[in-house]
Amino acid sequence: MEQKEKKISKAIIQRLPRYYRYLGELLSQGVDRISSSDFSKLMGVTASQIRQDLNNFGGFGQQGYGYNVKNLYEEIGKILGIDRVHNIIVIGAGNFGKALAGYSDFEKRGFRIKALFDKDSTKVGKTYSGITIHPMEELRTYIADNNIEIAALTVPKAAAIELASVLKDTGIKGIWNFAHTDLNVPDSIVVENVHLSESIMRLSYNMKSRNAGS
């Protein structure tokens, strides 16, 4: 079995959370197992694609049985690293920051938003969805004292670039970047970008090309 530490393609990583989501929905509907072909129909991808993807992780299907929903859900959860809690802070208590703080779906998946941070002193001390806004001066000590692994940046571009530089020696392991810029960080920190402007441009492109009848 060569399943361990095999290099997984980026495309598969893109798809794994979607498998996880569908399996979670099946679980909550009380579905114990699903055939490869039903799973394929549900997800709108070919059964062979699903098999190929899951084979990268040792393969969880059994001939003539299909997939055990709970097992597969848990295994993918482990692969994604969400079989344990991740502590998060959100820097920038604007609308996006508040939206993240109020999004209970994250908590369900073990992503626990512990605090908001903002440089605006008039916001400090307020709470949103039970999460308190802290002053920027407390950033370093808060991260150290609360085992924070992920910082979500919901601040303007220039502030995000500055923050990336501040965060690099705080022990933060991941930055969830909502600012419309790329960040320079050491290799030890993973950046996941949510570039909404790029997302809406892709929408526009696809609308245009679909209209052209392609």
Asked whether the beta carbons of 24 and 80 are under 8 A apart, the reply is no
Task: Using alpha carbons, select from 207, 143, 133, 209 the residue that is nearest to residue 175.
Answer: 143
Query: Residue 1 is encoded by which pair of tokens?
Result: 């079995």
Among 39, 86, 115, 116, binds a second copy (CB under 8 A): 86
Query: Residue 40 is encoded by which pair of tokens?
Result: 């394929």
CA distances from 139 to 80, 102, 112 (A): 27, 21, 17
Residues whose CB falls within 8 Å of the CB of residue 180, separated by 6 or more in sequence, listed in order: 157, 195, 196, 197
* Piece of 47-55, 61-69, 88-96, 134-142 that binds a second copy (CB under 8 A): 88-96
Compare residues 82 and 136 and give the one whose CB is closer to a second copy. 82
Query: In the bound complex, what is the minimum distance in angstroms from residue 11's beta carbon to a second copy?
Result: 9
Interface pattern 23-62 for a second copy (x via CB under 8 A): ---------------------x------------------
Compare residues 33 and 180 and give the one whose CB is closer to a second copy. 180
Query: In the bound complex, what is the minimum distance in angstroms from residue 137's beta carbon to a second copy?
Result: 26
Compare residues 137 and 207 and give the one whose CB is closer to a second copy. 207
SS3 158: helix
Bridge partners (DSSP) listed for residue 62: 66
Residue 116 one-letter amino acid: L
Residue indicated by tokens 């003539």: 64
Query: In the bound complex, what is the minimum distance in angstroms from residue 136's beta carbon to a second copy?
Result: 21
Site residues (CB under 8 A) for a second copy?
5, 7-8, 13-14, 16-18, 20-21, 44, 79-82, 86, 94-96, 98-100, 102-103, 105-106, 109, 111, 149-150, 173-174, 176, 180, 182, 187-188, 190, 192, 194-212, 214
